[in-house]
């Protein structure tokens, strides 16, 4: 069938008026950026275009529940970004419950009201995108969500904090029992960075600099301990440059190394 027939098949089954079918077809094609493709056949479409036809069929049908299984997986990066915005708009306009399966954490964070993260059929955490990102319930979720990935530091508690090789993480009062083994976690963008030495800050040296345009990923080391930093702006630094970092105790998470559970999780 042509693109138009694929998209409107269910509408004709519902015996909608011809004018209504034509209107819905036009809107659906526009949303998935396939205007002008109505008369084409599957053999004349790329894999990504075929996938967008399937999304357009859903848009035209306007059901009360949408079930989507990685609908954007075959699209290039630019079109995937544009389609995410279209799907978010679709969800808002249709007021339809959408169950959306994806391995792409960016899709999950940008599209969802609530996220369920599963591992081998087991629910690891359910919550809002904010809670999933900032308060991961366990190490699996902490490592799965975030790009660049979260920093994990294994160490032992002391009066000074969580001692992890060449760095020390500040600990909340309830975790300061000495001699306890914990895994500290710090998001790359939550670590403060200074080009000048500050009292109490920890010295690191630059290993790799990766400007991405709006942001820059810095791979640094404190002694032999690797740390990933994310800084706003396009930054250029020479390898070996010394920087000083500080961990914000309010943004850190701490996990039990055996169970993987977040020790600061309240629910």
Q: What pLDDT is attached to residue 33? A: 86
The answer to whether 110 and 146 have CB atoms below 8 angstroms apart is: no
pLDDT at 124 over 90: yes
pLDDT at 115 over 90: yes
Q: What pLDDT is attached to residue 174? A: 85
Is 98 a domain residue? yes
The C-alpha atoms of residue 79 and residue 94 are separated, in whole angstroms, by 22
Is 61 a domain residue? yes
Average pLDDT over residues 127-133: 96
Alpha helix segments (H runs only) across 63-120: 77-94, 105-111
The domain that contains 63 carries what CATH number? Answer: 3.40.50.300
Is 101 a domain residue? yes
Confidence of residue 191 (pLDDT cuts 50, 70, 90): very high
Is 139 a domain residue? no
pLDDT at 267 over 60: no
Is 165 a domain residue? no
Confidence of residue 25 (pLDDT cuts 50, 70, 90): very high
The C-alpha atoms of residue 198 and residue 196 are separated, in whole angstroms, by 6
pLDDT at 103 over 70: yes
Q: What pLDDT is attached to residue 76? A: 83
Alpha helix segments (H runs only) across the chain: 3-13, 18-31, 47-61, 77-94, 105-111, 129-134, 139-144
The C-alpha atoms of residue 248 and residue 41 are separated, in whole angstroms, by 56
Task: Note the pLDDT tens digit of each residue in 210-238.
Answer: 999 999 999 999 999 999 999 999 999 99
> Which residues, 6 or more positions from 67, have their beta carbon under 8 angstroms from its beta carbon?
98, 99
> Which residues, 6 or more positions from 196, have their beta carbon under 8 angstroms from its beta carbon?
244
pLDDT at 266 over 60: no
pLDDT at 85 over 90: no
Average pLDDT over residues 177-196: 95
Confidence of residue 62 (pLDDT cuts 50, 70, 90): confident
Token pair of 220, please?
Answer: 């640094």
pLDDT at 201 over 60: yes
Is 164 a domain residue? no
Structural domain containing residue 18: 3-113
pLDDT at 17 over 70: yes
The C-alpha atoms of residue 69 and residue 143 are separated, in whole angstroms, by 23
> Which residues, 6 or more positions from 183, have their beta carbon under 8 angstroms from its beta carbon?
139, 152, 153, 154, 155, 254, 255, 256, 257
Q: How many domains does the chain have?
A: 1
Could you give the angle at the alpha carbon of 248 between the alpha carbons of 236 and 206, nearest 5°?
Answer: 25
pLDDT at 163 over 70: yes
pLDDT at 106 over 60: yes
Percent of the chain with pLDDT over 70: 99
Q: What is the mean pLDDT of the chain?
A: 92
The C-alpha atoms of residue 264 and residue 22 are separated, in whole angstroms, by 55
Is 148 a domain residue? no
Token pair of 261, please?
Answer: 């559970």
Q: What is the DSSP string of 221-253?
A: EETTEEEEEEEES-----TT-EEEEEE-GGG-E
Q: What pLDDT is attached to residue 265? A: 62
The answer to whether 162 and 254 have CB atoms below 8 angstroms apart is: yes
Average pLDDT over residues 23-39: 92
pTM above 0.75, yes or no: yes
Q: What pLDDT is attached to residue 254? A: 97
Is 206 a domain residue? no
């Amino acid at each position: 069938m042509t693109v138009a027939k694929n998209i409107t098949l269910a509408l004709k089954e519902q015996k909608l008026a011809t004018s209504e079918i034509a209107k819905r077809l036009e809107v659906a094609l526009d949303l998935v950026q396939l205007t002008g493709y109505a008369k084409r056949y599957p053999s004349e479409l790329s894999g990504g275009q075929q996938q967008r036809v399937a999304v357009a069929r859903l848009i035209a049908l306007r059901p009360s529940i949408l079930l989507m299984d990685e609908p954007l997986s075959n699209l290039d990066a630019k079109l995937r970004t544009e389609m995410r915005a279209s799907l978010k708009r679709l969800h808002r306009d249709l007021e339809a419950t959408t169950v959306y399966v994806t391995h792409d954490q960016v899709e999950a964070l940008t599209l969802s009201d609530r996220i369920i993260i599963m591992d081998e059929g087991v629910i690891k955490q359910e919550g809002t995108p904010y809670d999933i990102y900032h308060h991961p319930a366990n190490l699996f979720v902490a490592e799965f969500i975030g790009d660049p990935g979260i920093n994990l530091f294994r160490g032992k508690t002391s009066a000074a904090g969580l001692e992890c090789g060449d760095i020390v993480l500040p600990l909340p009062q309830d975790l300061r029992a000495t001699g306890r083994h914990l895994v500290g976690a710090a998001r790359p963008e939550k670590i403060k960075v200074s080009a000048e030495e500050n009292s109490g800050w920890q010295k690191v040296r630059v290993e790799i600099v990766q400007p991405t345009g709006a942001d820059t990923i810095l791979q640094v080391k404190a002694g032999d301990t690797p740390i990933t930093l994310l800084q706003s702006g396009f930054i250029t630094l020479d390898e070996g440059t010394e920087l000083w970092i500080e961990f914000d105790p309010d943004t850190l998470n701490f996990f039990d190394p055996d169970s993987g559970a977040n020790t600061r999780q309240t629910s």
